[in-house]
Amino acid sequence: MSVTVLRLGHRIFRDQRITAHCCLVARAFGADSFVYTGQKDGNLEKTVSSTAERWGGRFRIGYADDWKTVLKEWKGKMVHLTVYGIPVVKEIGTIRKQKNLLIIIGGEKVPSEIYQFADWNLSVTSQPHSEVAALAVFLDRYFEGRWPGTFKGAKLKIVPQERGKKVEKIK
């Protein structure tokens, strides 16, 4: 089973924090890896890899020159999250049966071919908001609210508190 997120058209200056949030959301909600196109961004990759190293798991981030190659080589179904798509809730039951899933999230301009290549074009709310939120809610529905929690090999672990902060180092 493999769930990968493909982020299109990353721009270093404008998108750095949004793309970083998308990466961390992908990881926290159970995706295995993240691929992005657009401008190659060493700082983004470093931030995400260092978070993944401290907090555990096998999440990987990678860069691709060309989204077409990613789509052609993908062995499994493809979901494109877009405000113009049909409601996620209508299709999530069918999609949940797919073990290998590529989730495509847009940048500023999504090539029109993406709408054709994708097996599903899906919207979360049909209102303008955020690819970070769309990805989180999609993954939450796909995994039926089962969040990974602590990851294998983590060096740090949060101990949930009613008030205040507690982080444990794991030896």
Two structure tokens written together for 114 = 């993406």
Two structure tokens written together for 163 = 């008030």
The residue to which tokens 């926290």 are assigned: 28
Window 28-47: contact mask with its own copies (x via CB under 8 A): xx------------------
# residues contacting its own copies (CB under 8 A): 53
Question: Parallel, antiparallel, or unpaired: how do β-strands 60-63 and 33-38 relate?
Answer: parallel
75 vs 161, which CB is nearer to its own copies?
Answer: 161
14 is an interface residue for its own copies by CB under 8 A:
yes
Identified binder of its own copies from the candidate list 39, 83, 98, 100, rule CB under 8 A: 83
Determine contact, residues 148/134, Cβ cutoff 8 Å: no
85 is an interface residue for its own copies by CB under 8 A:
yes
Give min distance, CB of 20 to its own copies, in A: 8
Complete edge-to-edge strand list for the sheet that includes strand 120-123: 60-63, 33-38, 2-10, 100-105, 77-87, 120-123
How many Cβ atoms sit within 10 Å of the Cβ of residue 79?
25
| Window 131-170: residues binding its own copies (CB under 8 A) | 132-133, 135-137, 140, 145, 147-151, 158, 160-167
Q: What is the CA radius of gyration of the chain?
A: 16
List residues binding its own copies (CB under 8 A): 14, 17-18, 21-22, 24-25, 27-29, 51, 55, 82-87, 89, 112, 115-116, 120-121, 123-130, 132-133, 135-137, 140, 145, 147-151, 158, 160-167
